Amino acid sequence: MHIINEHYHIYNRGAHKEPIFRDATDYLRFLQLLYVANSVKSVRFYNLDLNRIFSYNRGDTLVDIIAYCLMPNHFHLIIEEKMENGTSRFLRKLCTGYSMYFNFKYDHSGTIFQGSVKSKHVGNDDYFRYLIQYVHLNPYGIEEPELMKATKQEHLDEAIAVSREYEYSSYKDYLGEDRPRKAILSKVEPR
């Protein structure tokens, strides 16, 4: 159970560590779902103009999305619970929508995620700031998958350079880049 106005690190990976994003279209669909699934309204994705999806009026949102990063075989979200059961409703819509898309596109059956989504409470400001950095520097792991967290700190300039160019995280939004998918985020400023 999540607590209203509290922050959480949400993450999951592909079943058997398999990729959940195989091409740019997969990443884009997940980004689109991050936006439209975060609504108290029921959304019929097939009724939406995909070229203008990030300007769709979705009404009240279930959670505030603070940061995200999509990696080939996993994803990270930092969210704030806005209403009772908001996180679970949002994640159910997000993961079900993406699983249906993935299974149809790749003629796949069964689960694509490794168990249920993991959630870790963000209990203090120091951890919150660390987590924002951790999520945004995650793309450096694509280039250097054997690096441990501490080693990423030793290569901070390189990790930042990789993250600045990475398209599938909110880091560019934090840097002030103007792009439609910035609408996914409810808040950009770390506390």
Whether 66 and 186 have beta carbons less than 8 Å apart is answered as: yes
Q: Classify residue 146: in a domain, yes or no.
A: no
Q: Does 45 map to a domain?
A: yes
Tell me if 160 is assigned to some domain: no
Look at residue 81 and tell me if it is in a domain: yes
Please indicate whether residue 44 or residue 35 has the higher confidence score (pLDDT). 35
* Segment 150-161 mean pLDDT: 78
Q: pLDDT at position 190, please?
A: 44
Could you list the residue range(s) of the whole structural domain that residue 178 is in? 7-123+167-184
DSSP 150-189: HHHHHTHHHHHHHHHH-SSBSHHHHTT---GGGGG-S--S
Please compute, for residue 35, the number of CA atoms within 13 A of its CA located in the half-sphere on the CB side. 21
Q: What are phi and psi of 77, to 5 degrees?
A: -135, 145
Is 44 inside a domain boundary?
yes
Rounded to two decimals, the pTM is 0.92
From 154, 163, 148, 2, select the one nearest 88 (Cα to Cα): 2
Residue 190 lies in a domain: no
Domain membership flag for residue 27 = yes
Q: What is the pLDDT of residue 188?
A: 63
What is the predicted pLDDT for the residue at 25?
A: 95
Q: Is residue 116 part of a domain?
A: yes
CA distance 121 to 3: 9
pLDDT average, residue stretch 27-49:
88
Domains contained in the chain, number: 1
What distance in Å separates the CA atoms of residue 87 and residue 119, rounded to the nearest whole number? 10
CATH code of the domain containing 84: 3.30.70.1290
